Chains A and B, each alone.
Chain A
Amino acid sequence: MAQKTIEYAVGRTPEMGPDGRPTPSPLEPFDIPEPELDSEHMLINIGPQHPATHGVLRLVCELDGETVLNVTPHIGFLHSSFEKLGEYRTWNQIVPLTDRMDYLAPLIYNCAYVMAVEKLLGIEVTERAKVVRVILMELDRIFGHLLWLGTTAIDVGAFTPFLYTFEDRERIYRLHEAYTGGRITTSATRVGGMMADLPENWIAQLEDFLDSFPRTLAEVHRLLTNNQILIGRTQGIGAISAEDAVNFGFTGPNLRASGVAYDVRKDNPYYDYETYDFEVPIGENGDCYDRYLVRMEEMEQSVAILRQAIARLPEGPINVEDPSVSLPSKTDCMSDMESMIHHFKLITEGIKGPPGDCYFPVEASKGELGMYLVSDGGPKPVRWRVRPPSFVNISVISELARGHLIADLIMINASLDIVLGEIDR
């Protein structure tokens, strides 16, 4: 068979510079007169089924050319009325509803909910339960930030970090599974403690993860932090001042990127967070790049908190030893009449607490997660309200995107780190 050598019509070998690297020829500016065009605003619909909206979010944009003039977010496609459902359930039966809201960091929601119930009912959990919950919440902060990191990198065209972060997310999934049996729908907490104590060897697996995770983070840093494309796509994009950020209700990393050092773990501490040694990273400019840097630093701080929590994890019971709150062990139920009665009464009647209300804020991976509970003294809440951080954060997207290009709108949306499960609830 005859072979044919391909001849390129255009030289494909770029000229080499003195440093041995190819020198791209500079672009010649075209000298074409600006055409006289009628300006007409255009309406563009993005979503609800669109990979760049990070969920079933629908954005209707008003454009002038490629410039965004206005964005109207339409939400509610995932609305399941969890808060209404909660009014028909006893305190413990609500726990499975909570992890379906933020399925990217479910354990934070599990913990935040029961912490609010315990505050309302006046239950003091054991020291071991406190430290275990701190471990779970910090682990899921990393878990949530890793998903944000991978998907945001894809939005600026970098595919590799996605593979790195999801490999480590998979390891956290396995930790979830080893403890709770579920990978996403963990439902690990109960009022007064946890559904079970940590399994044997779990802490060792967690330490394995903590040993290797900073290396992954360093690799992603090398790939992204000084990356010209990422910097060009994020610096100066979607900036918001500190005063506006507070007024618009920003919380979490989005607020701290604007330079406000508000972190519920420091300002309104729960579970002895004031005794852990960690720093709250804050940005200066409040743009997408600062939000990126703040989250990257937060993951390193979470690793530090996790190491301290492991070091101080006390022995002892994980559930409060109050028969009106915690279920007795199955062995006791089978052998001891009194335990069986307690078990029966807890399951059929539920836990009763004093009437009143309670707002319990927790620093979730996306911002201040507030659980507001109203009780009339019965075993079920009169009202269970979740203050979802993403819901308030995404409401600002129109102000952030105004005047930027439509491609930047995708980056701004990604940088806010939303999860539609908790926005729509």
Chain B
Amino acid sequence: MSDEKKSGLDAVDEGPVPSDGSGPQAAGAPADKNDHPSVAALFERFGDAIRHHEVNAGDQHVVHIDPARNTEILGWLRDDPAHRYDLLADVTAVDYGGGQPLRVVYQLWSIPNRMGLRVKCLLPLDVLEIDSVVPLWNSANWLEREVYDLFGITFRGHPDLRRILMPHDYAEGHPLRKDFPLRGRFSRAEQTRRALNQDVDRFYIPAERALGREPQQVTFPSQTAPGPDEGSEGGA
């Protein structure tokens, strides 16, 4: 009778359970860099900056690159006439938990050449910083903001890096990290207290606040001092 009875919500706060490794493992087909023209060209041109190459889900090529040179490599992939990955479909991140580095994932698609490539950068947990790719693709603007908001990765050179899905003054951390409990870090009471004490000024970003005027003092009739006509009833 040693095991205490747990409610369903207790289990939720322990975080997602990693795999026990009993499922089927990867087929283990070695990735051949010559199967994908861009991967072969990347190895030839950037050499050591290309850390790893793998093929997932049958035919999807993934390259791991040096996070310090991400804008250089991604910029080359965008501009080189043989590759022209002009559509940055997605920027996201993956946290495997257990102190492993976070992975920033770029999904590239070349509209003229009709091929895709996935590029990953590994960021150790103590240096969660990477150069922004907004100068290359404007579509990265909101996608990087979302990664910053939900994972806490800072994008150097981003024009407007602030929270996007969570409130501006959210103080509980970055929700998609594995160490973040499903129901948040604060107690329900604290969350409610913060929600009720929100300052309307915080609904506007600093640039908007600077543009808006000073909030006007609104006085209600019940709070005003009685005028000379109303105040002289006492003698009647």
Contact = CB atoms under 8 A, between A and B. Distances in A.
Contact of A88 (B96, B182, B204, B205): B182
Contact of B164 (A76, A249, A377): A76
Interface stretch (B36-44, B135-143, B220-228): B135-143
Contact of A377 (B16, B25, B57, B94): B25
Contacts of A251: 87, 89
A249 B87 contact: yes
B215 to A, nearest CB: 12
- Among B118, B138, B205: residue with most chain A CB under 10 A: B138
B232 to A, nearest CB: 43
B11 to A, nearest CB: 9
Nearest to A81: B175
Contacts of A198: none
A75 B165 contact: yes
A84 B182 contact: yes
B165 A76 contact: yes
Contacts of B20: 378
B135 to A, nearest CB: 11
B105 A372 contact: yes
A52 to B, nearest CB: 19
Contacts of A425: 165
A72 B203 CA distance: 12
Q: How large is the interface on A (under 10, 10 to 19, 20 to 34, 35 or more residues)?
A: 35 or more
Contacts, number: 155
Interface string A322-360: 000000000000000000000000000000111111110
A262 B87 contact: yes
Interface string B180-193: 10100000000000
Contacts of B68: none
Interface in B191-217: 203-205, 207-208, 211-212
A367 B176 CA distance: 25
A316 to B, nearest CB: 24
B205 A72 contact: yes
A161 interface: no
A377 B19 CA distance: 6
A139 B63 CA distance: 37
Contacts of B111: 246, 260, 262, 267
Given A352-B24, A383-B95, A361 B89 contact: yes
Contacts of A358: 56-57, 60
A62 B207 CA distance: 10
Contact of A249 (B24, B60, B139, B146): B139
A195 interface: no
A221 interface: no
A379 interface: yes
Contacts of B88: 249
A246 B150 CA distance: 26
15 contacts: A43-B204, A88-B182, A122-B57, A247-B138, A249-B88, A249-B89, A268-B114, A354-B25, A357-B94, A358-B57, A377-B25, A378-B20, A387-B89, A387-B90, A392-B139
Given A75-B165, A354-B26, 8 more contacts: A72-B208, A83-B150, A88-B16, A268-B114, A353-B24, A359-B107, A395-B139, A396-B138
Interface of B: 12, 16-27, 56-58, 60, 62, 86-90, 92, 94-97, 105, 107, 109, 111, 114, 116, 118, 137-139, 141-143, 146, 150, 164-167, 175-176, 180, 182, 203-205, 207-208, 211-212
Interface of A: 41, 43, 60, 62, 72, 74-76, 79, 81, 83-85, 87-88, 119-120, 122, 244, 246-249, 251, 260, 262, 267-268, 352-359, 361, 368, 370, 372, 374-380, 382-383, 385, 387, 391-392, 395-396, 424-425
Lowest 10 A-B CB distances belong to which pairs?
A249-B139, A378-B19, A352-B23, A358-B57, A356-B56, A395-B142, A76-B165, A387-B90, A377-B23, A87-B16
